Amino acid sequence: MADISASFAGLSLRKCIYNASGARSMTPEELAALGNSEAGAILTKSCTLLPREGNPEPRYQDLEWGSLNSMGLPNLGYEKYIELSPELKKYGKPVFASVSGLSLEDNMKIIEAMNASEFDAVELNLSCPNIPGKPQVGYDFEDTEKYLEEISAICRKPLGLKLPPYFDFAHFEQMAGIIKKFRVRFLSCINAIGNALVIDSEKEIVIIKPKGGFGGLGGRYIKPAALANVRKFHELLPDIPIIGVGGIFTGRDVFEFVLAGATAVQLGTVLMQEGTSCFGRVARELEEIMDKKGYPSLERFRGKLKVIE
């Protein structure tokens, strides 16, 4: 059977497939389910300084090819996740904390506290809201550099970044140039495509309540954009592992992300729709593809996407 293990940031995953931070990863029960599943790692819900209830319902809806959400960062607060970290380590797989403070100061306080926790690494969410009137941090390159300068100076855990989707080569290059200045150990690409709008034409109404119906688009709709982000950052930052996120439902999807350069992948919408059984199913499908193609490990085809000459 093909080897689908992965290693990055000094950590080893028996399987290269685990959860995205927004999906079924908030409560102790959900995190325990991830621990008991075939996921290769556990990633917490993005945490803030204080617990948050999030946006009013309905704030998540499944769609034919994916999902739309405007969750509003519901979470238990960073102190609760630190408290849970020793228990999560008992599952024998890497445990990641997703950090999404509402300001630079919040993020620094959370990450300083994470240094003394049992978490193996931190995924800093740069695709979350900033102050009113400004873009999310990952779209403000000046702010991104300021965040990384301050946070990398205090973070003693391996630091990864959760990035928003980029659509212009100049933006890829600008972000890559900033990342090169700091000791970033991995990138997770991409977060949902922001501010999408889905309409129920029968009822002539939007399908979620927050923000007048605007929300983050996930699932199969965003897979081509996610593949493009993985590919471009792999080209620009070949020494930094990329975690592929966005529209991964099958083993074939994982195969394509690894071919584009991903070291591992995260499952979001499919985890919401299918539950934790998705990890074993997707892993088996990936192994079958690799066996059929004669690839004994992910390294044999990672980043080896062909182009038309």
Task: Write down the pLDDT at residue 37.
Answer: 98
Q: Which of 225, 234, 233 is nearest to 191 (CA)?
A: 225
Residue-range domain boundaries for the chain: 6-54+73-192+221-300
Task: Write down the pLDDT at residue 134.
Answer: 62
Band of residue 1 on the pLDDT scale cut at 50, 70, 90: confident
**Whole-Å CA distances, 11 to 94, 263, 283:** 7, 12, 19
Identify the weakest region by mean pLDDT among 21-30, 52-61, 78-87, 125-134: 125-134
SS3 category, 197: strand
Averaged pLDDT score across all residues of the chain: 96
| Residue 277 pLDDT greater than 90, yes or no | yes
Euclidean distance between the first and the last CA atom of the chain, given in angstroms as a whole number: 34
Task: Write down the pLDDT at residue 135.
Answer: 73
Label residues 37-51 b or e (16+ Cβ within 10 Å = b): bbbbbbbbbbbbbee
Average pLDDT over residues 177-191: 98
Query: Would you name the residues annotated as active-site residues?
Result: 127-128
Band of residue 130 on the pLDDT scale cut at 50, 70, 90: very low
133 CB-near residues (< 8 Å, 6+ apart): none
Average pLDDT over residues 210-221: 95
| Residue 129 pLDDT greater than 70, yes or no | no
| Residue 62 pLDDT greater than 80, yes or no | yes
Domain spanning 6-54+73-192+221-300: CATH 3.20.20.10: no
Say if residue 179 is preceded by a cis peptide, omega within 30 of 0.
no
Band of residue 281 on the pLDDT scale cut at 50, 70, 90: very high
